[in-house]
Amino acid sequence: GAVVSQHPSRVICKSGTSVKIECRSLDFQATTMFWYRQFPKQSLMLMATSNEGSKATYEQGVEKDKFLINHASLTLSTLTVTSAHPEDSSFYICSASTQGEGRSDEQYFGPGTRLTVT
């Protein structure tokens, strides 16, 4: 199947600092990528939909100024957690669709990034 990578896999940062997470589709082009967050023993919750070349669409309750998303190319989307606080500690996962032109069939997920804010 298609491969999606995320970097870093783990990051520990101090409260108030910013952290950037990269999501790459390695063997296909993804016009749409999605960012999810997963708290312990919870399901994945969609944060935002990232479309190449346009502004991301955020879910209700997700602050766009705090979680900056940039989808600069068809293989790379980045999520920056600005002024991170301990409550932002979570498992962040991206996914990318193998279909272009706004269609999504199978979605492939990155391995996730464990963010810990101290």
Partner 1 sequence: SQKIEQNSEALNIQEGKTATLTCNYTNYSPAYLQWYRQDPGRGPVFLLLIRENEKEKRKERLKVTFDTTLKQSLFHITASQPADSATYLCAFNQAGTALIFGKGTTLSVSS
Note whether 34 binds partner 1 by CB under 8 A.
yes
**Single residue of 43, 54, 65, 87 touching partner 1 by CB under 8 A:** 43
The number of helices, as runs of H, and strands, as runs of E, in the chain is 0, 11
CA 25 vs. chain centroid, Å, equals 12
List C-alpha distances in Å: 116 to 11, 20, 23, 72, 110.
6, 13, 18, 26, 18
* Amino acid letter, 53: G
Binder among 42, 73, 116, 118 for partner 1 (CB under 8 A): 42
CA 6 from centre of chain: 9
Examine residue 67 and tell whether it contacts partner 1 (CB under 8 A): no
* Number of amino acids touching partner 1 (CB under 8 A): 29
Q: Which C-beta is closer to partner 1: that of 66 or that of 114?
A: 114
Q: Which residues contribute to the site for partner 1 (CB under 8 A)?
A: 1, 4, 6, 32, 34, 36, 42-46, 49, 91, 93, 95, 97, 99, 102-112, 114
